[in-house]
Structure 1
Amino acid sequence: MTIHEIGALRWFRSSKHAQRGFCSTCGSSLFWKMDGQEGISFGAGTLDGDTGLDTERHIFVEDKGDYYEIACTAPQIARY
C-alpha cells in the first residue's frame, strides 16, 4: 500500500492498475488515474456549479442496479 500526500489530498495505490485520490479530511473519493494513461478521471459530482461537461460514456453498466435507468444517449459499456 502506497499513499502520496499533497496538502489534504492523498493518492492511494488501490490496485495493480490504478491509483485513487481522496480527501484526507473528509474521506471523499475524488479522482483516479489508470496506469499508462495520461489523464486523470474524476467524479463529476465532486464539482460545484456549472461545469459545461457532457457525458462521454457510461461504464460498468452490466453491474448497475435494476432501479437505475440511463436516460441519455451516450454509449454504454458493459465492462471497462
Structure 2
Amino acid sequence: MSKTIKKSSRCLCGQVEIHLDHMSQQVGACHCSMCRTWGGGPYMEVNCGTDVSFTGEEHIKVYASSDWAERGFCGVCGTHLFYRLKQTGEHMVPIGLLGDEPGLVFKSQVFIDEKPDFYSFANQTQTLTGPEVFALFSSADES
C-alpha cells in the first residue's frame, strides 16, 4: 500500500532546501558505474515524481550525465539532491537526504550486472540488468 508523503529537507550547508509533494515509500538502488563514481557506492533513492521544488535554487548545479538524465547537487557543499529523468521530469532523491521515514521498503535494484562483488544486500528485491533497464525505457518511448 502506498501513501503520499510530503517532505522537506536541506543539503549539508543549508543553502538548498528541497520540497516534495510526493515521496514514494519504495527505495531503489542503482549499481551502475556512474552512480557508484558519483557517490562512492550504490545510489539509494526514492522516486519523488515531478512535484519537487527548491529554495536556494541559485546554488543548485546540474550535470547532464547522459542523454536521458541529469544529476543535481548543491554547488556550495556538494550534497547530492536528485537524479532527474529529462523526458518525464521525475526526480529520484537520495534516501539519505530524506531521513528515516517509517514504512520505507527496499524494493528494487537496477544495473545489478554492474554491481561489484565486494558488497551484496541481503534484502530480496526486484532486480534488473542494464540492458533490461534500457529495454524498459525504450518500450515506454514507443507507447
TM-score range with shorter-chain normalisation? 0.7 to 0.9
Q: How many residues align?
A: 76
Which structure 2 residues correspond to residues 23-62 of structure 1 after superposition, within 5 A? 23-62=74-113
Structure with the largest fraction of helix: 2
Q: CA deviation at 1:62?
A: 0.9
Q: Which residue matches 2:60?
A: 9
How far apart are 1:39 and its partner, in Å? 2.0
In the other structure, the counterpart of 2:124 is 73
Match of 2:60, as an amino acid? Answer: L
TM-score under structure 1 normalisation?
0.73
Matching residue of 2:51: none
Offset of 1:20 from its aligned partner?
A: 0.9
Q: Say what the alpha-carbon RMSD is for the aligned residues.
A: 2.1
Q: Which runs of 5+ in 2 are unaligned?
A: 1-55, 134-143
Pick closer, same or farther for the CA change 1:27–1:65 going to 2, 3 Å: same
Aligned-residue sequence identity (percent) comes to 26
Q: TM-score, normalised by structure 2?
A: 0.46
Letter in 2 for 1:28: T
SS at match of 1:30: strand
Tell me, what secondary structure is at the counterpart of 2:118? coil
